[in-house]
Amino acid sequence: MAVQIPAVDYLVLGDQPHLQAWRCVACSAAYFDRRNACARCFATSFSRSPLATEGVITAFTRVERGAKQPFTSVVVDLGEGVTVKANLRGMDDPAQIKPETKVRLYTFVAGVDDEGTEAVAFAFEPVGHSEVVGA
Ligand SMILES: [Zn+2]
């Protein structure tokens, strides 16, 4: 199997890919990027926290730009006060997207370098979607 690396630091690969946040030890605020201090309470201690792999869409926009393939960008509420922005796959008709549409994380190979190392990215797809994509 090719060596795989996550496209972003907060994506954890393996048998059960998931996102993880830095959680403020004092107030539980979550951040995807590492912080020196919590923006909510100014504490300086954080711990890594795995996030749910399913959530609900709270906002979306359809992006159509020139000759590029149109795509849908979504904001997904993963619970516990965490939202993440990502692309949506498997639901090309925006009219199908309803408030609280349930989605789940999936990963895919976004690129391969000259040595065969695969960069793995993530997106979300509707729960019940059967397409198997990439990693
Ligand atoms: Zn805090």
What pLDDT score does 131 carry? 52
The owner of tokens 């990027």 is 33
- Mind listing the pLDDT tens digit for each residue in 93-135? 888 888 789 999 999 999 999 999 999 999 999 997 655 444 4
What pLDDT score does 14 carry? 92
Considering only residues 40 and 67, tell me which one the structure prediction assigns the higher pLDDT. Answer: 40
> Based on the number of CB atoms within 10 Å of its own CB, is 131 exposed (0-12), middle (13-18) or buried (19 or more)?
exposed
For ligand 1, a single-atom ion, which residues have Cβ within 5 Å?
Answer: 24, 26-27, 29, 38, 40-41, 43
Q: Is the pLDDT of residue 9 over 50?
A: yes
Rounded-to-integer distance, Cα 48 and Cα 32, Å: 10
- Mind listing the pLDDT tens digit for each residue in 53-102? 999 999 999 998 887 888 899 999 999 989 999 999 988 788 888 878 99
What pLDDT score does 134 carry? 45
Rounded-to-integer distance, Cα 125 and Cα 132, Å: 10
Give distance in angstroms: CA of 59 to centre of ligand 1.
Answer: 26
Domain locations in the chain as residue ranges: 4-126
